[in-house]
Amino acid sequence: MSTRNAHITGWGMAVPDQVLTNDDIAKMVDTTDEWIVSRTGIHERRIANSDQTTASLASEAALRALEVANLHPGDLDMIIVATSSPEYIFPATACVVQDRIGAVKAYAFDLLAACTGFVYGINLASQAIKSNGANNILVIGSETLTRLVNWKDRNTCILFGDGAGAFVLQASEEPGGVLSAVLRSDGSGANLLSVPGGGSPHPASMQTLYDGLHYIQMNGREVFRFATRVMVEATFETVETAQMTMDDIQLLIPHQANQRIIEAAARGLNYPMEQVMVNLDRYGNTSTASIPIATVEAIEQGRLKPGDNTVLVAFGGGLTWGAALIQWTGPLPFQKKVSPRLVRGYARGRSILARLRRRIEGFIWGNG
Ligand code: ACO
């Protein structure tokens, strides 16, 4: 029997144009550029404008990834959006994306594993492909976390930024692709990083607003300690599972939360910082989007090439953590060029027609 492998064949990112520097934040809360840079490595972050949402950033990153993969949106089987700042509590942001890009055959759902969500999504997609459940899958990490930040809380507002990144995964018998993954969770630490307001125990009310429960709450020191430990453990375990050593890994792409966490992980792994991708200085922590955004920039900078082995490693609220080892390939060979952006134009028309049809049916059959 032939082996099905799950290859990353397309990648794309989308970030807002609006930049918020540390000096800008220093005008809002009691902090300084020097404090933020020395404690986090972050210099600036992107902020979504009022027209941009988690779904719009996700759709743009998705189209770019489909263009790289040269894949028609109608050929997608599944769309996973990993996010902690979804368009709605429900329906899923992934369904909004499905409609916008015209992925007429795809089933779509959101995945909530905080900043580890993208790595969870890669593993799910890879398993679906390997078990013959799907051929073409879009995994997106997209966030507008700055909408959940309390801009009066200097402990959290310095950290986060908005953006989206996407991978296309496709089945192929060629060797390579996702080789191993290790995923974990520990709900006993759920209180260390959360947005409690609007959920089942604390439904939205004047009181939850007054108490600020709709904002990100974080115990920074505890998260820091947890992160440095699990990044090392998960990376070692996934490399070992693939029967490799760190010498076989050309590039490490960690979740972009804090320069000091990344440096501590590199030290723990005894791995050179020159082979670690870091771009949090320009984007801050974009949660689920940070790994795909860092990957796209690594490719653009020539730091990740076909044949290279890379480990994606993340941690986040939940608590969750995990890593995936990928042998990088690139787009599958194709015969005819497709235009995902053209399909998006048709998708808009189809979506309007579908709504109109529901209205007419409601008018004919009545709404009761
Ligand atoms: N400017 C100036 N001073 C500040 C600021 C600020 N922006 N923020 C905190 N401080 C103060 C604190 O009040 C504290 O003062 P105190 O000692 O008088 O109480 C002092 O600085 C030191 O605070 P610490 O919390 O010890 O600072 P630390 O060095 O740990 O850095 C930080 C804080 C940057 C938040 C760090 O703990 C961190 O990065 N933790 C991990 C957070 C993280 O990665 N979260 C995202 C997880 S991913 C996800 O799922 C979304």
Residues serving a catalytic function are 115, 255, 285
For residues 1-21, average pLDDT? 94
Instruction: Tell me the CA–centroid distance for residue 95 and ligand 1, in Å.
Output: 36
Give the relative orientation of helices 259-269 and 33-40 as an angle to the nearest 10 degrees: 20
The predicted structure's pLDDT at residue 368: 56
- Report which protein residue has its CA nearest ligand 1's atom 48: 316
Backbone φ and ψ for 10, nearest 5 degrees, come out as -150, 150
What residue type is 217 in one-letter code?
Q
Please identify, by atom number, the ligand 1 atom nearest to the C-alpha of residue 40: 34
Please identify, by atom number, the ligand 1 atom nearest to the C-alpha of residue 31: 1
Residue of 24, 25, 35, 39 to test ligand 1 pocket, by largest number of atoms within 8 Å of CB: 39
Report percent pLDDT > 90 for the chain: 92
Instruction: Tell me the CA–centroid distance for residue 89 and ligand 1, in Å.
Output: 29
The predicted structure's pLDDT at residue 363: 84
The predicted structure's pLDDT at residue 344: 81
The predicted structure's pLDDT at residue 367: 63
Lowest mean pLDDT among 260-269, 321-330, 348-357: 348-357
Residue of 224, 263, 287 to test ligand 1 pocket, by largest number of atoms within 8 Å of CB: 224
- Report which protein residue has its CA nearest ligand 1's atom 42: 220
Does residue 254 lie within any of the structural domains?
yes
Instruction: Tell me the CA–centroid distance for residue 206 and ligand 1, in Å.
Output: 29
Quickly state the pLDDT bin for 1 (edges 50, 70, 90).
Answer: low
- Report which protein residue has its CA nearest ligand 1's atom 47: 316
Does residue 89 lie within any of the structural domains?
yes
Report the pocket of ligand 1 as residue ranges, CB < 6 Å: 31, 35-36, 39-40, 114-115, 154-155, 158-159, 193, 218, 220-221, 223-224, 227, 257-258, 285, 287, 316-317
The Cα 283–Cα 293 span in angstroms is: 9
- Report which protein residue has its CA nearest ligand 1's atom 13: 155
Does residue 344 lie within any of the structural domains?
no
The predicted structure's pLDDT at residue 277: 98
The CATH number of whichever domain residue 203 belongs to comes to 3.40.47.10
- Report which protein residue has its CA nearest ligand 1's atom 41: 224
pLDDT in tens, 301-335: 999 999 999 999 999 999 999 999 999 999 998 88
- Report which protein residue has its CA nearest ligand 1's atom 20: 155
Does residue 261 lie within any of the structural domains?
yes
The predicted structure's pLDDT at residue 345: 82
Strands of the chain, DSSP E: 5-14, 19-21, 44-46, 78-82, 107-111, 136-143, 163-172, 177-185, 193-194, 217-218, 251-254, 309-316, 320-327
- Using the predicted structure, report yes or no on whether residue 236 has a pLDDT greater than 60: yes
- On average, the pLDDT of the chain sits at 96
Q: Which domain covers residue 296, as residue numbers? A: 5-327
For residues 153-164, average pLDDT? 97
Cα–Cα distances in angstroms (integers) from residue 333 to residues 69, 74, 327, 342, 353, in the given order: 9, 18, 17, 21, 35
Whether 48 contacts 16, CB under 8 Å: yes
- Using the predicted structure, report yes or no on whether residue 95 has a pLDDT greater than 60: yes
Please identify, by atom number, the ligand 1 atom nearest to the C-alpha of residue 221: 37
Does residue 349 lie within any of the structural domains?
no
pLDDT in tens, 38-59: 999 999 999 999 999 999 999 9
Please identify, by atom number, the ligand 1 atom nearest to the C-alpha of residue 218: 45
Number of compact structural domains in the chain = 1
The predicted structure's pLDDT at residue 61: 98
Quickly state the pLDDT bin for 348 (edges 50, 70, 90).
Answer: confident
The Cα 184–Cα 15 span in angstroms is: 29
The predicted structure's pLDDT at residue 77: 98
Does residue 354 lie within any of the structural domains?
no
Sign of CA dihedral 55, 57, 58, 64: positive
| pTM for the model | 0.95
- Report which protein residue has its CA nearest ligand 1's atom 30: 221
Does residue 153 lie within any of the structural domains?
yes
Residue of 24, 43, 155 to test ligand 1 pocket, by largest number of atoms within 8 Å of CB: 155
pLDDT in tens, 179-229: 999 999 999 999 999 999 999 999 999 999 999 999 999 999 999 999 999
- Using the predicted structure, report yes or no on whether residue 365 has a pLDDT greater than 90: no
The predicted structure's pLDDT at residue 341: 87
Does residue 84 lie within any of the structural domains?
yes
The predicted structure's pLDDT at residue 347: 85
